[in-house]
Amino acid sequence: MESAAPGTNVTLRDVAAASGVSLSTASRALDERGTASRSAAAAHVRKVAEELGYRRNSFASSLRRGETRTLGVLVPRLSDTVMALMFEELERAASDRGYFAMVATSGDDPDDERRAAETLLDRNVDGLILATARIDDELPRRLRERGMAHALVLRTDGVSPSALGDDEVGGYLAVRHLIDLGHRDIAVVTGPAFTSTGTARLAGARRALAEAGITPPKEWLLAVGYGIENGFSAGESLLGSNAGRRPSAVFAANDNLAMGLIAAAHRFHVTVGEDLALVGYNDIPLSSRLSTPLSSVRVPLDQIAGNAIDLIVNPNREPKIRKSMPTLIPRESSGSPGHSTAPLRS
């Protein structure tokens, strides 16, 4: 069978006629939204379509169904490694379902977030995925009131559909690891109090400390930002010459914070993995490549992305809040079992 001449628009009707099947049968065989039929008839239709050079007009068929097959993804910033990795996984999971994902950034400003969301909605996206972080965010409530398909990712407000890692378990695993290594002087540096990730990871850390009968000084429980500069400032507070008593171990609630702490430790002649045990969170690719590889809590971003897309594509499927289990990845930065932390040098 010869393919169509260049510039010729091969229609679904042409494919049906060449295949000897009805128009509806050809349409079902070439529908990319679900699992492809394995019947001989469907395979024959797809083979004929390929030979003719047929290209399905997804946009037109989506308009007939009132869909655009696009999803809007709203993130604070793509310069954040976790956000960039999360979007890549969302894009991949969306593509596997026949959707296209487009991204917009908002910083951490609620007004900018609202404007970015409206911009995406103006493009008639079929749903919104929100990776923005504030617990007090009004946008999910407004989307629920409008009946707009949406899902929160890497966070939850406890009401809207959400796909995230179990941050409380992750915080527990990190601090339990440090306790099992023999540490009792443990500090915790988390994200801002307005983030569900920060509060949940701190709750998990507190649970591990309480189980071990450890009550750290109040100044060792720091709620800061999630940037490297926030980790450096926290490190100055915990390890600096004016710090007084210093911790022997720190749980940093993301890897950027941990890297800032590493820089501060270097400034104060503190050797991470020897003088100071350190555990981060998210296990970004750079973590294992540092001069002292960073122990970190790994979050299954691919699983979270798949859950987020499914929450939009199948809005009636339960549960609405899906938590994926994190895993502790121990490396040199936390030392070894039985390691006795040396006195910190000023």
pLDDT at 161: 96
Name the pairing type of β-strands 162-165 and 150-153: parallel
Q: What is the pLDDT of residues 307-333, one digit of tens each?
A: 999 999 998 899 999 999 999 999 999
DSSP per-residue codes, 250-306: EEESSHHHHHHHHHHHHHTT--BTTTBEEEEEE--GGGGGSSSPPEEEE--HHHHHH
Contact criterion met (CB below 8 Å) for 346 and 241: yes
- Model confidence pTM above 0.85: no
**Both tokens of residue 132?**
């923005």
List the beta bridge partners of residue 223. Answer: 190
Give 271-297 pLDDT, tens digit per residue.
999 999 999 999 999 999 999 999 999
Pairing of strands 221-223, 249-252: unpaired
- Whole-angstrom distance, CA of residue 156 vs CA of residue 244: 38
For the chain, the average pLDDT equals 88
Q: Which residues contact 93 (CB under 8 A, 6 or more apart)?
A: 302, 305, 306, 308, 309
Which whole-number Å values give the CA distances from 259 to 200, 265, 288, 322, in the listed order? Answer: 21, 10, 12, 29
Q: Where are the alpha helices (DSSP H) in the chain?
A: 12-19, 23-30, 40-52, 58-65, 81-96, 110-122, 139-146, 167-180, 196-211, 228-239, 255-267, 301-313
Q: Can you tell me the distance from the alpha carbon of 244 to that of 187, in angstroms, rounded to the nearest whole number?
A: 14
Distance, CA of 4 to CA of 54 (rounded, Å): 9
Cβ neighbors of 140 (< 8 A, separation 6 or more) are 130, 150, 152, 157, 159, 160
Distance CA 253, CA 281 (A): 5
Bridge-based pairing of strands 327-329 and 295-298 is antiparallel
- Predicted local confidence at residue 286, as pLDDT: 96
Predicted confidence at residue 4, as pLDDT, reads 52
Residue 36: the pLDDT is 57
pLDDT in tens, 55-92: 765 445 544 445 789 999 999 889 899 999 999 999 99
Residue 298 phi/psi, 5-degree rounding, is -90, 135
The sign one gets for the Cα dihedral 174, 319, 157, 129 is positive
Angle between helices 40-52 and 12-19 (to 10 degrees): 120
Which among 94, 195, 149 has a CA at the least distance from the CA of 320? 149
- Note the pLDDT of residue 341: 44
Low-confidence ranges of the chain (pLDDT < 50): 5-7, 58-59, 62-65, 338-346
Q: Which two tokens stand for residue 24?
A: 């509806």
